[in-house]
Structure 1
Amino acid sequence: MFVSQPALSKQISILERTLQISLFERTSKGINLTEKGKQFYARIEPLIQEVDMVLEEFVLPEEFRIGALPSISSYYLPTVMNLLGSMKLKTFVENTSDELLEKVQSGELDLAIVQDRHQYGNLKHLYLFEEPYVVALPDNHPLVDKEWLEMKDFHAE
């Protein structure tokens, strides 16, 4: 899988902290997915399949050059490495979306995982997933009872 056990454990711990759930139940007999872990896997498995299809769509060279946003790479790089299989990752770059897109345009990278910019020039783009964002508010905040918030709601803030 091209990832050491300690590195994988660290990535799992980071993911569990980020999601604020336990994905695995650790016992003396090994590890099993928790219920939340099973739910998470059910949601992320189609993403893994989509990444696999994207990689298969390209005629992948023996050496592959990929770039990603730092926030994405820490979670998805192990999966991408696994999907690349026997290919060698020649280059891995973390940068901004704009810089990564420029590197794909210039041929410095084969693929970049970036935020949606709606402007890709002659590059083909595929949507991998949609990130839900939330606003955290204290219990006594005037906007806490609203079901949906819009940017105009924050003008008085």
Structure 2
Amino acid sequence: MDVDTRLLRYFAAIAEEGNLTRAAHRLFVSQPSLTKQLKHLESQLGVRLFTRSSTGMTLTEAGHTLAARVPPVLADWDTAVRDTRSAARVLRVGFLAGAANEATPDIVAAFARRRPDWQVDLRQASWTDPTAGLASAEVPVAVLRLPFPGQDAFGVRSLFTEPRCAALSSAHPLAHRDEIVDCVPVTGISPSEVGVAWLPDAGEAAAEFVRCCLDVTQSRRTGCGTR
């Protein structure tokens, strides 16, 4: 029987959290979707893995058995994937649209100069995954918006803060101002800080990419070139 590792990750998160809502938040998926995937896994295995109650999710005897075996299986799989990708010398970098757009070509070029035997595979994540693939270990390093949920689990460095502007009608009472500071409440605006984040065991190539991010953004601020 073949089981999607994604289903095992979902199961592990529910088992650890003991609650569907918290597990869904941790996995960046909706609760109905997570419930559907859990039912799919139970159907594949032919067993019930949890008992559901108003207090949360409790592992059945079969669930306890699976919960004891899933973490090492996923750890071995992640190691195999990471080692395979390293052997291919391809660094997968996640990013969110709008994060370091102007600096990204310079960062990739700097990495290519320092690691000419490596390739960079840029992978754009949807806004539903603010970690840009880090949480699921799809990428070892990512350029994204700060802060993001679960940030403390990763290495994180701020690269720069983008300026914000307000677009107003010429007839607006504030249109004549050069700056608008604490005049009106503003909600729903994404953070303007851009950073780079990486997995704890990301590897030397990812560490080199992080250094390129820091060097390039610093050089852009000072007007100096990069090596």
Give the TM-score normalised by the residue count of structure 1.
0.48
Q: Report which of the two structures shows the higher radius of gyration computed on alpha carbons.
A: 2
- Provide TM-score, normalisation by structure 2: 0.35
